[in-house]
Chain A
Amino acid sequence: QSVLTQPPSVSAAPGQKVTISCSGSSSNIGNNYVSWYQQLPGTAPKLLIYDNNKRPSVIPDRFSGSKSGTSATLGITGLQTGDEADYYCGTWDSSLSAGNWVFGGGTKLTVL
């Protein structure tokens, strides 16, 4: 069971908007930066969002991130079939003395 909680799956039609939630606690999301990763089928994860809401230059502005308290959200607008993938949130967890990097369990996005 993951420290960060994500819905197992979400779906929406092409052109629509979808949000993916990531719920944690004060020892992780509440006090550390959140990042999001997209994993297309059969490929390595790719960084989508870092530092809660920043996008690498190669990521289109259809992707956005936000954080409030101990939860974070990934938003995707103008859905395309090519967005079908698994999405993971991640952050540092400082609940243990040595700390630990943690990922959410992943959310499978289906574009209907």
Chain B
Amino acid sequence: QLQLQESGPGLVKPSETLSLTCTVSGVAISSSSYYWGWIRQPPGKGLGWIGSVYYTGSAHYNPSLKSRVTISVDTSKSQFSLKLSSVTAADTALYYCARGRKYCSDGTCYSTYFDSWGQGTLVTVSS
């Protein structure tokens, strides 16, 4: 049974770097069929995709966040991680990790859907 669990600080100061880890259990993170993604939800608002990483380390990001985001994977620990730099209050949100089904078309690969989600972790940006 696949489980994803987010972990990391719940409070980050403005201008600092937000760091979260998602631990995957029950399935191999190095599956060729899936991406591993981060999605966030500001309080009372909708969902926003941050980015996704393949087990090889290849990642793609939301263009609006790309300059501040790094998503990496550690297959030996069955974990993938999110780093978001120079945070502001606008980055306060529930952060979810999720598994995305990999699909490739015309030389481009991406997730077609997210079939399993972690419970989410609230990160507040405040001094």
Interface residues of A (CB under 8 A from B): 2, 32-33, 35, 37, 43-47, 50-51, 56, 88, 90, 92, 94, 96, 98-106
Contact with A along B109-127 (1 / 0, CB 8 A): 0111111111110000000
- Contact between chains at B46 and A103 (CB < 8 Å): yes
Centre residue among B49, B111, B113 by max chain A CB count within 10 A? B113
15 additional contacts, CB 8 Å, given A46-B117, A88-B47, A101-B49? A33-B112, A33-B113, A35-B113, A45-B117, A47-B115, A50-B112, A90-B113, A92-B112, A98-B61, A98-B66, A100-B63, A101-B62, A101-B110, A103-B47, A106-B46
Is there contact, CB below 8 Å, between A50 and B115? yes
Cα distance A90–B101 in the bound complex, in angstroms: 13
Q: Hey, which chain B residues are within 8 Å of A2, CB to CB? A: 46
- Whose C-beta in chain B lies nearest to the C-beta of A4? B46
Q: How many A-B residue pairs have CB under 8 A?
A: 68
Chain B residues proximal to chain A, CB less than 8 Å = 37, 46-49, 52, 60-63, 66, 96, 101, 103, 108, 110-120
Residues of A within 8 A of B37 (CB): 101
| Nearest CB of chain B from residue A86's CB, rounded to whole Å | 8
Bound complex: CA of A45 vs CA of B116, how far in Å? 9
Chain A: CB-nearest residue to B94: A44
Do residues A50 and B60 form an inter-chain contact, with CB atoms below 8 A?
no
* Interface pair B46/A88, CB less than 8 Å apart: yes
Closest partner residue, chain A, to B119 (CB atom): A44
User: Given A45-B96, A47-B113, A103–B49 Cβ distance below 8 Å?
Assistant: yes
- Measured CB to CB, the closest approach of chain A to B61, in angstroms, equals 8
Q: Please, which residue of chain B has its CB at the minimum distance from the CB of A50?
A: B113
A35, A94, A100: the one within 8 Å of B62 (CB): A100
B120 to chain A: which residues have CB within 8 Å? 44
Q: Are A98 and B63 in contact (CB under 8 A)?
A: yes
Q: Is the pair B114, A99 in contact by a Cβ cutoff of 8 Å?
A: no
* Given A45-B47, A98-B60, A102-B49: A92 in contact with B111 (beta carbons within 8 A): yes
A28 to B96, CA, bound (A): 23
Docked complex Cα distance between A98 and B108 (Å): 9
Contact check, B47 vs A99: say whether CB atoms are below 8 A apart.
no
